[in-house]
Amino acid sequence: MGAYDLTTPEGIKIEVKSAAYVQTWYQRVLSKISFSIKSARHWDPESNILLAEPKRHADVYVFCLLKHEDKQSIDPLNMDHWDFYVLGTFELNNYKRSQHSITLNSLRNLTHVVAYNDLESSIKEKFILHNESISI
């Protein structure tokens, strides 16, 4: 397992987090939405060493919410049933509340919904901002 979920052809490291209101099991109420943003230690498979310091290893986080609330008609392959939020790691590192998780309301205070077709440009934009924050 890597320190992040995927890398773009441009070298942007992305961590993907997902959540849904509806679960496969019986529910009395819809799930409350929260995403884990906890820093982690990373095992390097090339050196066989577990890095000592927990940190966020990705450049950008993509939070995916399966927002559709009707269990009978939910279709996870329908992109209209999803909301996407993109944050740079620097934004999470500067987040003043919990450093372990982020609620949907907090996420909405930090960023806006990104359409599926706009994910690529939003990820690249956050990556550029991330690199500018490092050089400041």
Reading the chain (136 residues) residue by residue, the pLDDT tens digits are: 578 899 999 999 999 999 999 999 999 999 999 999 988 877 777 788 787 788 888 999 999 999 999 999 999 999 999 999 999 998 998 888 777 899 999 999 999 999 999 999 999 999 987 676 555 4
What is d(CA 6, CA 13) in angstroms, rounded to the nearest whole number?
6
Count of C-beta atoms within a 10 Å radius of residue 34: 17
What is d(CA 4, CA 10) in angstroms, rounded to the nearest whole number?
15
Q: Where do runs of H (alpha helix) occur along 6-100?
A: 89-93
Inter-residue contact 7 to 54 (CB < 8 Å): no
Q: Side chain identity at 14, as an amino acid letter? A: I
CA distances from 58 to 22, 41, 67, 68 (A): 28, 12, 25, 28
Of 136, 134, 119, the closest CA to residue 59 belongs to 134
> Could you tell me the residue ranges of all domains in the chain?
6-135
